[in-house]
Amino acid sequence: MPPFKNPLPTVDCIIELPGDRIVLIRRKNPPPGWALPGGFVNEGERLDQAAVREVKEETGLDVELVEQFFTYSDPRRDPRKHTLSTVFIGRAQGEPQGADDAAEAKTFPVDALPQELAFDHGTILADYLTYKRTGQRRKL
């Protein structure tokens, strides 16, 4: 019998900063591009704890999570393997500094996001902008 394979749980965080800006990281490792801060959930770690930890590791920011936004599960969302990402919306103060597996961390106005986004983060950010504009969440 072949071994049972499960998708891996991950988290991502849309970090809102004053002035309608959000934080993105430029990935140090493949796949390339700009991405939301996030990563894999450690065994024994809650999703919210993983999001706060990943933000701190990749940006140096202390984030306050304000809501759980949506869980993205398309098997094609990560070219390396099937992952499930629970996305949080959080708030922080200060300027991010890229660290850990982030080559760079930078703030972007929500109306001037880079086009070279990794994973399905373009979809996530489009859903977020729709939600902020209309209050409507992604439909299942």
Peptide bond between residue 31 and the one before it cis (omega within 30 degrees of 0): yes
54 is catalytic: no
Q: How far apart are the first and last CA of the chain?
A: 33
Find, among 98, 111, 118, 135, the residue nearest to 22 by Cα. 111
Considering the candidates 45, 54, 104, 116, report the single residue annotated as catalytic: 104
- Contact criterion met (CB below 8 Å) for 50 and 39: yes
Q: What's the one-letter identity of residue 64?
A: E
- Contact criterion met (CB below 8 Å) for 67 and 91: no
How far, in Å, CA of 24 to CA of 13, rounded? 9
Residues taking part in catalysis: 104
